[in-house]
Structure 1
Amino acid sequence: MHIPHLYDTQYTQLSPTTWCATAYVSAPMSLRLWNELPWLSIANTLHASSINFSTLEWQYRLPTHGSSVQKNAQRQRRQQRMGVRRLLQELLTTLEIDDTLNEAQFPYRLNSSSYYVCFSHSSTGSANNSNDNPNASVAVVISHQRMVGIDIETNQVAWHVAQRFYHPNEITLLQALPLDQRDTVVKLLWQIKESFIKINHHTLAQGLGMNYQYLISDIATNLEQDKSLATLTDNQPLPYQIVILFSYQTVIIF
């Protein structure tokens, strides 16, 4: 099993008992070189002196048929799952917490200290990505006080998707925003919903349909102020803190 490589790891303390970490994850160099072997073998076997370039059809490429793409996608998902767990271990090492993850039940917790744990990962490249670009962004949050949610998202959320799942009151407010601002708020609202889904154990459709219209104005205001970090307060009976790390495209709720 290839161990994914983490880099550009960032640690953020959100409260006295809550920390998060973000990083990029990519395939090990040995695996990337293996994926490039078809190109290497072609380069070593073709000789310019023996090729008629006027008749040569350039069809040397990595396989793009369905099964190959599916296998690469599965490999990336495995890398991401391994990546978030490795990131957790690096966070615990940094905090000098000697503990292990209990994955026997949800929500995840650490065995000895009982910290709550939540993971997220998002693809940043195509399924055929085999160069030096990262395959994914990964994030983890731990908190001692209660269940937490985290969502890292590098891709946009299409407006027609939001219209399908979001609450009608949210759509009304979002439509009134300038187009570029609306697209960003739609994405951040999606991440907030995803994070609350993890906390409340909702189904995807149920969680995305929840009405968070009261957050839209605050999200838009923070965008206008060009902050690197925004903190919002949820209006539930036991209010949650919602932190947006703009530069890391990450939302944390604790």
Structure 2
Amino acid sequence: MPTIPLTHIQHTQLDPTTWCMTAHVSAASFSIDSIDIWNHLSWAGFSDTVSIDTIRLDNVDWHFHRQQTRPSARRIAHTQRQQQRQGVRQLLQMLLHKLEIDDTLDESSFPYRLTNSRYYICFSHTAASHKNNTDESLNEKIGKVSYNQVAVVISHHRPAGIDVETSNIAWHIVTRFYSDNEITLLQAMPTSQRDMTAKFLWQIKESFIKIHQYTLAQGLGKDYAYLIPSLSSTNLPALDVFRSNNHQHAIEHLYTIDSTDHQTSYRISVLPSQQIVIVF
């Protein structure tokens, strides 16, 4: 399988046994197979059209016209999902190479682990776009998705979760899934701060879902209201800088929390510029 062009590759060491890597998959690498173009040709027999090609076969005139339709939004989303799946695995190989780890991914069960060293692996990527919007042209669709973001975290001592989210969470979704305590605290915030905090909270919930293998309803229903004061922009701590291989890596938001799930202390790294949350 050919490799996918990855750009904006960033590597961060979160602690002595946990690393993450992020990258962009350029929309320019999106491709629609030639078979799809062929399948989108519209044929009509014996039709009267303005532009007609004529084929003479046994003294019978067959008329057809070509009408090339644009790939559907569903096909675009399917292509994105395929490239994201390939992109995160390609990114993992880059991270393993950087860490000088010679191993392969075991995908037989969750959470994913490396076959020999048994490091824990977690992936994330932006959602495939335009699933429900079929009215725009292909150029408009592609123009709105300049890239897809992919991310991977590797942890030696326990499962870690990572989540990429580039869009705000709609308020009706928040009120449907979040706890009453969370909603009460969020409602007291200015709208822009509320939206940012609700998104980070969603990413934390998604990350814990990946760590503990909750169902979606279980994970989104967990009450993390005690984290909201720390997640609000007015209370963000100063940048922590972790030095690795003579390079400084700025961790934009790093603090320790106690998981309400198993009374286990977890660290949460929020990387606002990359719109990524990591729980480890």
Deviation at 1:31, TM superposition (A): 2.7
Q: Which moved more, 1:120-129 or 1:133-142?
A: 120-129
Q: Against the structure 1 CA distance between its residues 8 and 61, is the aligned structure 2 distance closer, same or farther, given a 3 Å change threshold?
A: farther
Distance 1:32 1:223 in 2: 46
Equivalent residues of 1:232, 1:242 under 8 A apart:
yes
Q: Which moved more, 1:189-198 or 1:106-115?
A: 106-115
- The one-letter code matched in structure 2 to 1:246 is P
Give the alignment partner of residue 224 of structure 2, picking from 205, 212, 215: 212
Q: Against the structure 1 CA distance between its residues 180 and 25, is the aligned structure 2 distance closer, same or farther, given a 3 Å change threshold?
A: same
Q: 1:16 aligns to what? A: 16
Deviation at 1:93, TM superposition (A): 0.9
Whose strand fraction is larger, Structure 1's or Structure 2's?
A: 2
Distance 1:13 1:117 in 2: 14
Distance 1:70 1:104 in 2: 28
Give the alignment partner of residue 150 of structure 2, picking from 125, 129, 138: 138
Deviation at 1:224, TM superposition (A): 5.7
Q: 2:91 aligns to what? A: 87
Equivalent residues of 2:124, 2:151 under 8 A apart:
yes
Divergent runs of 4+, >6 A: none
Whose helix fraction is larger, Structure 1's or Structure 2's?
A: 1
After superposition, the CA RMSD in angstroms is 2.8
Deviation at 1:155, TM superposition (A): 1.2
TM-score (norm 1): 0.81
- The one-letter code matched in structure 2 to 1:101 is L
Deviation at 1:200, TM superposition (A): 1.0
Identity rate of aligned residues, in percent? 50
Distance 1:224 1:95 in 2: 30
Equivalent residues of 2:31, 2:79 under 8 A apart:
no
Deviation at 1:99, TM superposition (A): 1.0
Gaps of 5+ in 1: 38-59
- The one-letter code matched in structure 1 to 2:166 is T
Distance 1:222 1:245 in 2: 16
Equivalent residues of 1:32, 1:130 under 8 A apart:
no
Distance 1:222 1:97 in 2: 40
Equivalent residues of 2:238, 2:253 under 8 A apart:
no
Q: 1:234 aligns to what? A: 257
Deviation at 1:238, TM superposition (A): 1.6
Indicate the SS of the match to 1:120.
Answer: strand
Equivalent residues of 2:26, 2:147 under 8 A apart:
yes
